[in-house]
Amino acid sequence: MPEAVVAITGASGALYAERLLRALSDSEWEVLLIVSREGAINLDLELGITPTQLAELPGVSLEDNDNLAARSASGSAKIDHYVVCPASGTTIGKIAAGISDNLVPSSALVALKERRPLIVVPREAPFATVHLENMTKLSNWGVVVLPASPGFYHNPKSVDDLVDFVVARILDQMGIEHSLGQRWTGEEVQ
Ligand SMILES: Cc1cc2nc3c(=O)[nH]c(=O)nc-3n(C[C@H](O)[C@H](O)[C@H](O)COP(=O)(O)O)c2cc1C
């Protein structure tokens, strides 16, 4: 089975992570889930759930963000994809600075050193210049910076439609087939 690390950090947008985990679980991916302290706060605030409850999805197992000896901290663990969703400005800054003081940036730095695919999904408004500079650094190193900024050209009817728009882009990046949202056909504008 393909395997991903999904890290939830303390940016708003827990629903993106929940939807992504469901999609990965439905696609029979194995997922190592890491949730930072502020990530857990936002999970509770926005969805009323705990990291442990999220990890009940088939194929998902929870790693402790304080455990730097966990599997996702090792380059020898064969992991296919790394996603930080949502990604806080703090975690992006740590990755850009090479700081691995907990498991989230540590696993992201494994992705960088092993040249494996890493996606970060920032949510902040507005961005400070330091955020933009850090994201530029990551992008120049091959990281996909995929902001949680849904489009509206597909006439969304619900929050779920907006969330799906972003999750669909993440799944596309991971090469995973899905049926979230409609794809642009080129026939929409006459
Ligand atoms: C309720 C709440 C909402 C937050 N929302 C955001 C956000 O949308 N984007 C962001 O970059 N940081 C946000 N923060 C700040 C981060 O949580 C903070 O930078 C924290 O140090 C991130 O740590 P982590 O990256 O280890 O999760 C928020 C914090 C709280 C408490």
| Residue 70, amino acid | A
pLDDT at 190: 86
pLDDT the model gives residue 164: 97
94 lines ligand 1 (CB under 6 A): no
- For ligand 1, atom 17, the nearest C-alpha belongs to 10
Q: In the chain, what are the domain boundaries?
A: 3-174
* Residue nearest atom 29 in ligand 1 by C-alpha distance: 10
- Residue 41: phi and psi, rounded to 5, are -60, -45
Q: Print pLDDT tens along the chain (190 aa).
A: 999 999 999 999 999 999 999 999 999 999 999 999 999 999 999 999 999 999 999 999 999 999 999 999 999 999 999 999 999 999 999 999 999 999 999 999 999 999 999 999 999 999 999 999 999 999 999 999 999 999 999 999 999 999 999 999 999 999 999 999 889 999 999 8
Quote the ligand 1 centre to 84 CA distance (angstroms).
13
Residue 11 Cβ < 6 Å to ligand 1? yes
pLDDT of residue 22: 98
* pLDDT computed for residue 182 by the predictor: 86
Burial 52-63 (b: 16+ CB within 10 A, else e): eebbebebbebb
Q: Alpha helix locations (H) across the chain?
A: 14-26, 37-47, 51-54, 89-97, 103-113, 129-140, 159-174
Q: Spell out the CATH class of 3-174.
A: alpha beta
Token pair 């597909």 is at which residue?
154
The answer to whether residues 79 and 87 touch, using CB atoms and an 8 Å cutoff, is: no
User: What's the one-letter identity of residue 34?
Assistant: I
Pocket test for ligand 1, best of 88, 109, 124 (most atoms within 8 A of CB): 88
Task: Return the pLDDT at 169.
Answer: 98
**Residue of minimum CA distance from atom 23 in ligand 1:** 10
Counting Cβ atoms within 10 Å, is residue 186 exposed (0-12), middle (13-18) or buried (19+)? exposed
